[in-house]
Chains A and B, each alone.
Chain A
Amino acid sequence: QKEVEQNSGPLSVPEGAIASLNCTYSDRGSQSFFWYRQYSGKSPELIMSIYSNGDKEDGRFTAQLNKASQYVSLLIRDSQPSDSATYLCAVPLDNRLAFGKGNQVVVIP
């Protein structure tokens, strides 16, 4: 099993809809989880951190963590064209931050 998996292909959502992204991880001992947003040709930007089971909301973003099932998700409410980007899930592993391959989100006006 890969360390951090994001399996969904590109996600197209209408403007104003909810975009839902999922991520699973292999290390049961992981305690910290991060979502980064990366625009094409730009560097990753940290948008959410979550450490405890349950939901964490920040503006239009909600991160959901379920340690028992080893998954973390990101919801983007009221999606805007400016949300069109690749979203990377990241989990600390040994001495590094392991990244998933990312999910591309395209918000259609």
Chain B
Amino acid sequence: NAGVMQNPRHLVRRRGQEARLRCSPMKGHSHVYWYRQLPEEGLKFMVYLQKENIIDESGMPKERFSAEFPKEGPSILRIQQVVRGDSAAYFCASSPGQWNTEAFFGQGTRLTVV
């Protein structure tokens, strides 16, 4: 049973380009969460999705950021027109139910904007 899979592991983008981060949850998990972590800082919640639904996007910037979790395929976190401040580690976690159940993290995508 594979864990949460994220790709790419490292992503370099020039300012103004688009970044697409992918997350495949663990088998049997239908809840996906995205977090961002800056160096030496804590995990900041971005968005919570279930299949085909965004449940809570209160932690995601209104501009340039979007997320989806289609019926088929991985969850996607999309950042348009990236800026240097978007450089961070982006982690995806999945759980079989809501947050009162155990959640497991993927290896993360390290985004560097140059």
- Give me the interface of A with B, judged by CB distance under 8 Å: 31-32, 34, 36, 42-46, 49, 88, 92-102
Known: A43-B91, A97-B99. 6 other contacts (CB 8 A): A43-B107, A44-B91, A46-B102, A92-B99, A93-B99, A102-B42
Residues of A within 8 A of B42 (CB): 88, 99-102
Q: Which of B43, B55, B100, B104 has the most CB of A within 10 A?
A: B43
Task: Report yes or no: A43 in contact with B106, Cβ–Cβ below 8 A.
Answer: yes
Task: Report yes or no: A95 in contact with B48, Cβ–Cβ below 8 A.
Answer: yes
Q: Is B88 an interface residue (CB 8 A)?
A: no
Task: Report yes or no: A92 in contact with B104, Cβ–Cβ below 8 A.
Answer: no
In the complex, the 5 A-B pairs of residues with the closest C-beta atoms, listed nearest first: A92-B99, A95-B56, A96-B45, A101-B42, A32-B100
Question: A88-B43, A96-B33 in contact; A49/B102 too (CB < 8 A)?
Answer: yes
Question: A31-B100, A92-B100 in contact; A98/B45 too (CB < 8 A)?
Answer: yes
Residues of A within 8 A of B101 (CB): 32
Task: Report yes or no: A96 in contact with B59, Cβ–Cβ below 8 A.
Answer: yes
Residues of B within 8 A of A92 (CB): 98-100
- Distance between A61 CB and nearest chain B CB, rounded to angstroms: 15
Q: Which of A45, A49, A98 contacts B105 (CB 8 A)?
A: A45
Question: A44-B43, A88-B43 in contact; A95/B55 too (CB < 8 A)?
Answer: yes
Q: B residues 48-88 with Cβ under 8 Å of A?
A: 48, 55-56, 58-59
From B47, which residue of chain A is reached at the shortest CB distance? A96
Task: Report yes or no: A46 in contact with B55, Cβ–Cβ below 8 A.
Answer: no
Q: Is B108 an interface residue (CB 8 A)?
A: yes
Complex Cα gap A94–B33 (Å): 13
Task: Report yes or no: B99 in contact with A46, Cβ–Cβ below 8 A.
Answer: no
Residues of A within 8 A of B55 (CB): 95
Residues of B within 8 A of A32 (CB): 99-101
Complex Cα gap A89–B45 (Å): 14
9 residue pairs bridging A and B, Cβ less than 8 Å apart: A32-B100, A43-B107, A44-B43, A94-B56, A95-B55, A96-B59, A97-B103, A98-B45, A101-B41
